[in-house]
Amino acid sequence: MIARTPEPPYVAVIFTSLRPVAEDGYGEIAERMVQLAQTQAGYLGHESVRQADGWGITVSYWADEDAARAWKANAEHREVQRLGREQFYLAYAMRMAVVARQTSFEATP
């Protein structure tokens, strides 16, 4: 689940969202978007969490700002962004950020 990102700098797109709990086809579309993102130039990985009350945070990692922008502009992704505003999300915030430092930890079993 933790993305294996390279040494910084690289780009993180932080997407915080609230969606209704209703089953509405979102799961399949989200899965398709993950598959599509993985084929894009500069895709480095992503981490995604959603809790039972509908709040979620997804962070996708990109080689640079151009790669993140190209993903935002992808035609199929743009259509899903529109669906998101019309159907899936009650609210969201998107932030594009340049990662400067990273550390990680794994417990010894």
Residues that bind a copy of itself (CB under 8 A): 1-3, 5, 8, 12, 14, 16, 18, 47, 49-52, 55-57, 59, 65, 85, 89-107
Least separation in angstroms between CB 75 and a copy of itself: 19
> CB-wise, 40 or 72, nearer to a copy of itself?
72
d(C-alpha 11, C-alpha 42), whole Å: 10
Burial environment of residue 105 by CB neighbours within 10 A (0 to 12, 13 to 18, 19 or more): exposed
Q: Which of 66, 81, 86, 12 is nearest to 44 (CA)?
A: 12
In the complex with a copy of itself, which residue's Cβ is closer, 35 or 51? 51
